[in-house]
A and B are shown apart, each in its own frame.
Chain A
Amino acid sequence: MTKKINIKINILTSKLVLCLLMLFMLSGCSGGREINDLEIVIGMGVDKDEDTGNILLTAQVVKEGEMEKSSGSGGGGGDGKAFWNVTGTGESVFESVRQITHKTGNRLFVSHNHVIIFGKDLASEGLQKYIDFFLRAHEMRPTAIILIAEGRALDVMNAKPETEKLPAMNIAKLVKTYGFTSHFYKVNMKDFASCLMCDSRSPIAPLVGVSKDGDNKDIYMSGMAVFKNDKMVGRLNEDETRGLLWVLGKVKSGVLLISFPNKQGKAAFEILEAKSKVIPEIKDGKIVMHVKIKAESSLSEQTTAEDLATIEAFEKMQKAQAEVIRQEIMAAFDKSRELNADVFGFGEMIRKKHSNKWKSLKDKWDEIYQTIELNTDIEVKIQKTDLLKKPASPKKEEK
């Protein structure tokens, strides 16, 4: 009796053990790799190789040993750089990535890739064939930031920042903190691809340039690149970009500068909050976009001695700010019409609101976009004047 039970239990346990073994043996994630065998890539650049016309891929690899050393004592060995821009060429991105292993010895580990920079010549040629790998590879992050270099991506990645050790991390930080001015915008691979796949919307991507000041190379953000389909067709300058962001409701903060027409002097406001609402309307076959914007600001600086903390002055200034915002929006709108690129995503908004009519509009959207009217309703409220009520000015002038 007990013998039988025992045998039964033995069969049961052996089955269990077999199940467990299968769980471990047959599951996919058994590929461990030691950290020492990884080349951690934090940024990648794609350029065109001028001689061959092939892809020139730059991968920014972290030199962990150099990261540990304090920046002051950089002596040690080598040039004290904490990164290594290693390049590979090939006819496709993937081929170039593998080509790089001829130089690194280890496989590139791209899960921590933060920025992907494309050269301007590639961008105007069309990005579709270059971004496929970055979206398809399972190690890549769809949240990596996409940028367009004013010149070559390699030059951007070579510019060593003064405070950060890694150029790619510095660029990522720059883009992520766009909110200080709202003069450019963060676009990641996922956003870019979804814009690209959309019927009407034109993708945008921040532009990054290198300024040379003697030996120093500094990176700066210079507005946004505008794409028509996958080709870069033009750019938005800083004000135009903010005009775009006002409509999208993505303005975080920034400076609104107004000048007084009669008196000399300016007042600067900090944008505290901005909300937008866009309602598309189709009236007798004509499309009107109603843009409602509500913004709050605080008086941060004034160059006149006038006491601005009065109700009349506030009303005037609020109107003046609204006018500045309107001008920015219109500038962006005019530019987008000039480029015939729907960067606002108005087409998408119409598709969502008037989906039945969108089907007829879809095919000739390029022509229709030129005829869209923009109706703005902007309301700005000044919340506070920060620490001062009256400007610190000598008394004489006030009289």
Chain B
Amino acid sequence: MFRYISKVIRYLSLKNKNASQDTTTGKVNNEPISSDLKRNLEVIKGILRDSSDVTFHEFNFGHDRRFKGALIFINSLADKNEIHKNILQPLMYDVLLLKKDANMDFTKIDTVSKNLISITDTQKLVLASDLIDHLLAGATILLVDGAKEALAIKSQKVEHRGIEEPGTEAVVRGPREGFNENVNVSIALIRRKIKDPDLCIEKFNIGERSKTDVYIVYIKNVANPKLIEEIRERLDRIKIDAILESGYIEQFIEDAPYSIFPTVSNSEKPDKVVSKILEGRAAILVDGTPFALVVPMLFIESFQSGEDYYSRPFLASIMRLIRFLSYIISALGPAIYVALTVFHQELMPTQLLISIAAGRERVPFPAILEASLMIFTFDILREAGVRLPKAVGQTVGIVGALVLGQASVEAGLISPIMVIVVSSTAIASFAVPAQTDSGTILRYIYLALAGLAGGFGVIMGLLATLLHLASLRSFGTPYLWPIVPLNFSSLKDTFIRMPLWTMSKRPSAVVWDESDNYRQSPGLMPSPYKKDSGGSK
């Protein structure tokens, strides 16, 4: 009840806020550009009066310098070299190369841009609000006296990192390039991998103040149009002042905001994102972050790595099974240990029981407290290690692992087997990066259940988790697909990775047209050259 009331209050206050904003900002900006240069400049100067880095440059151009113009740009964003060479120089000097008797009318913005501006990316503007938007995005605005339009010339200079290997998804074999904070670089990386006219890149602009560029990237005829429509709708819903990272978008468009399992995947590797786009998914690229979102997300995607497909299938299959196993260990390790040692001592082999009992002889805490202490300490160490500079981080690791671990065992606070259980759990949780969060949370939940009701509690927790997982959907796709609902042909790429030439179809849950979803022709199994047939059968 309280929740409902607070929701209503929040909703009403938001509504009011939005309404008031609309009235204040709309009035200033919805003016058309007038033909009077001076007036235009005054209006713009009025809006941007507190921005010291805006340059207003007025000049005369044409053969006899009878035309008046002005350039407006933001110092920090614009490439001045470009402005001097390709805008000012043509307008003021190269114009002299035109025949004087051509008698061109440079009060028309069309004539100016077609004859004089040697920059390709230009746009005509009619509204003052658009003008401000473009100016703030880094464009150089050309105003000409007498014209009712302005020209936005995209001459911004954007500082960005080079293309580097992503820190989060290192590979042994496979491309090492990663996406970039500059979304144009990211799109270029995708474009370079898919040279297909069907590749669609739809632009959105989200954020009242940040005006962040957001792109949906997908392949027409492969991606389901309903999926794209759904993404568009969900993106349009977002009314927010700023988008600082793709995580903002993720949290506004995901299917199950209260679930600990992510229903939107992310990656900084172009090859990974492209492979998903090719399967019929859609990527959402956000300017200002190297992390691209991909929807829909399946649970098994967390266990697939790009390298699985680049290396031969045998070890890849084993590694995938190991990833499943380590996820189970990371979620259940301490819980099973506690359940076994506190509730089900009879399930262990006698020798193991004796050595566990010997290790715990001096431990003053109950097993559940001992386990929570260890996990808690580990999570502190991890959190501290991530934030610290590299050199100090190492020290923290050594102090944490060696000194704390060793000393607490020797002091009899923690049993050595608990150290083994918790540290192997901790290591296992990093084997599946996409589900590290959910694994960590589940570990605490299962541990509590194990402490309350032993194996019975763990089984109850597992059942609840499975039910929850089976109920999840990501943009209409069942989260546990192809296990629930079962799809035999797609199991080729689930627990093990079959050879590439057997996987001739795209995953049918994601793809649009199920009847025609071949990504390669069937029967591509390689074989030695046969004299008579001359090819594969």
Q: Which residues of A does B touch, CB under 8 Å?
A: 2-3, 6-7, 10, 20, 23-24, 27, 29-36, 38, 40, 42, 62, 64-65, 67-68, 109, 111-112, 114, 139, 141, 169
Contact (Cβ within 8 A) B4 A64: no
Interface residue stretch chosen among B123-131, B169-177, B343-351: B343-351
Contact (Cβ within 8 A) B346 A34: no
Residues of B within 8 A of A67 (CB): 354-355, 358
Residues of A within 8 A of B356 (CB): 35
Q: With A24-B453, A29-B453, A32-B454 in contact, do A109 and B345 touch (Cβ < 8 Å)?
A: yes
Residue in chain A with minimal CB distance to B8 = A2
CA distance A69 to B346 in the complex (A): 24
Contact (Cβ within 8 A) B361 A64: yes
Counting CB contacts under 8 A, is B1 at the interface?
yes
Q: In the complex, which of the residues A7, A20, A112 contacts B353, with contact meaning CB atoms closer than 8 Å?
A: A112
Counting CB contacts under 8 A, is B151 at the interface?
no
Counting CB contacts under 8 A, is B403 at the interface?
no
- In the complex, 26 of the A-B residue pairs with CB atoms within 8 angstroms, ordered by the A residue number, are A2-B4, A6-B1, A6-B4, A24-B460, A27-B456, A29-B343, A29-B453, A29-B454, A29-B455, A32-B343, A33-B345, A34-B367, A35-B342, A35-B353, A35-B360, A36-B360, A36-B361, A36-B363, A38-B345, A40-B350, A40-B357, A64-B361, A65-B361, A68-B355, A112-B346, A139-B346
Residue in chain A with minimal CB distance to B415 = A35
B: contact size bracket: 20 to 34
Contact (Cβ within 8 A) B350 A42: yes
Residues of A within 8 A of B1 (CB): 6-7, 10
CA distance A40 to B350 in the complex (A): 9
CA distance A27 to B357 in the complex (A): 27
1/0 per residue B445-481: CB within 8 Å of A? 0000001111111001000000000000000000000
Q: In the complex, which of the residues A32, A34, A68, A112 contacts B358, with contact meaning CB atoms closer than 8 Å?
A: A68
Contact (Cβ within 8 A) B4 A40: no
Tell me, rounded to whole Å, the shortest Cβ–Cβ distance linking B9 to chain A.
14
Residues of A within 8 A of B490 (CB): none
Residue in chain A with minimal CB distance to B455 = A29
Counting CB contacts under 8 A, is B341 at the interface?
yes
Q: In the complex, which of the residues B346, B350, B355, B457 contacts A114, with contact meaning CB atoms closer than 8 Å?
A: B350
Q: With A29-B453, A38-B357 in contact, do A169 and B350 touch (Cβ < 8 Å)?
A: yes
Contact (Cβ within 8 A) A64 B357: yes
Counting CB contacts under 8 A, is B366 at the interface?
yes
Residue in chain A with minimal CB distance to B460 = A23
Q: With A6-B4, A27-B456, A67-B358 in contact, do A112 and B350 touch (Cβ < 8 Å)?
A: yes
Residues of A within 8 A of B4 (CB): 2-3, 6
Residues of B within 8 A of A33 (CB): 342, 345
1/0 per residue B310-345: CB within 8 Å of A? 000000000000000000000000000000011101
Tell me, rounded to whole Å, the shortest Cβ–Cβ distance linking A172 to chain B.
9
Residues of A within 8 A of B453 (CB): 24, 27, 29-30
Q: In the complex, which of the residues B342, B355, B361 contacts A32, with contact meaning CB atoms closer than 8 Å?
A: B342
> Most chain-A Cβ atoms within 10 A of its Cβ — which of B355, B359, B366?
B366
CA distance A190 to B280 in the complex (A): 61
Residues of B within 8 A of A23 (CB): 460
